[in-house]
Structure 1
Amino acid sequence: MNNMSVVGMMNSMVPITRFNKGEATKIFEEVELTGTKIVVKNNKPACILISPSQYESLMETLSDYMLYTEAENRMANINPGENISHEDLMKEHGITQDDLDGVDVEIE
C-alpha cells in the first residue's frame, strides 16, 4: 500500500453525517474509484472503508506474513538430530513411491 499525502488523506475523509443523509451509495462508489475512505466521527477516525479486492489482498498479505513468521520460527528452533529422511518416513508408514505417484493432487 502506498503512503497517502496530507491532501490525499484530507480528500479521503468522509464525515459520518453523510451516511445519515442517505449518501452511503455515493460513498461506496467513491471507495470503488479512490480505493479508501476514512469515516470521521467527532473529528476522529471511526473506521476505514476499502474495496473488497483491497481487503482480500490485505488478508492474503497478512496470511502470507503469518506463514512466513511461523516457518522462520520453526527454522530457528530446528534440531537436526530430530529430523528423519523422506525415505525413512515413507518406510515407517508403509508408503511407496508408487503409492504417491498414483494420487491426484490439486494445489491452489
Structure 2
Amino acid sequence: MIDNITIGNVVNSLVPISRFNKGEANKIFEEVKETGFKIVLKNNTPACILLTPEVYDELMETVENYRLLVEAEKRIEKAKSEDFVSADEVMNELGIKSADLDNDDVEIG
C-alpha cells in the first residue's frame, strides 16, 4: 500500500486537526482505511501521521529488513576468508552425509 505514494496522495492526505474538533474523527478514520494514511496538521504543520495497522506493519517490516541488511553488510565487510567454513566441513562435523539429504525436501522462504 505504501509503494504507490505520490505527491498527489500526500497533498490529498492532509487533514486539519480542526476536523477532529468538528466531530469528523470517524470519517477521517474511514479515509485512513481507504488511503492507508493521513497527515494531521496543527497550525499548518504536520503534527502526526495516522496509518492503518497494515501500513504500520509494512513500514516496521521494512525498517527491520533494512536493519538486518545494514548488519549483514557490516559483517561481510569485516569478514575474512578464515571466518568461513565450507558446507563439507559442517556436514563432516555433524556427521551428515550427502546421501542423508537426498530424500529430504527443504523449503527456503
TM more than 0.5: yes
The residue aligned with 1:69 is 70
| Residues paired across the two proteins, number | 106
* TM-score normalised per structure 2: 0.71
Deviation, structure 1 residue 52:
1.0
* Counterparts of 2:83 and 2:17, CA distance in 1: 58
Deviation, structure 1 residue 59:
1.0
The alignment partner of 1:49 has SS state of strand
* TM-score normalised per structure 1: 0.71
* Counterparts of 1:86 and 1:13, CA distance in 2: 55
Match 1:3 to one of 3, 6, 11: 6
For residues 5-47 of structure 1, give each alpha carbon's deviation from its aligned partner in whole angstroms, at most 9, with x where no partner exists.
Answer: 2x751x2111112222222111100111122211000110101
RMSD: 2.8
Answering whether residue 81 of structure 2 is matched by residue 80 of structure 1, we say yes
The alignment partner of 1:60 has SS state of helix
The residue aligned with 1:54 is 55
Percentage of identical aligned residues: 51
Q: Give unpaired runs (5+ residues) of structure 2.
A: 99-107
* Counterparts of 2:65 and 2:10, CA distance in 1: 29
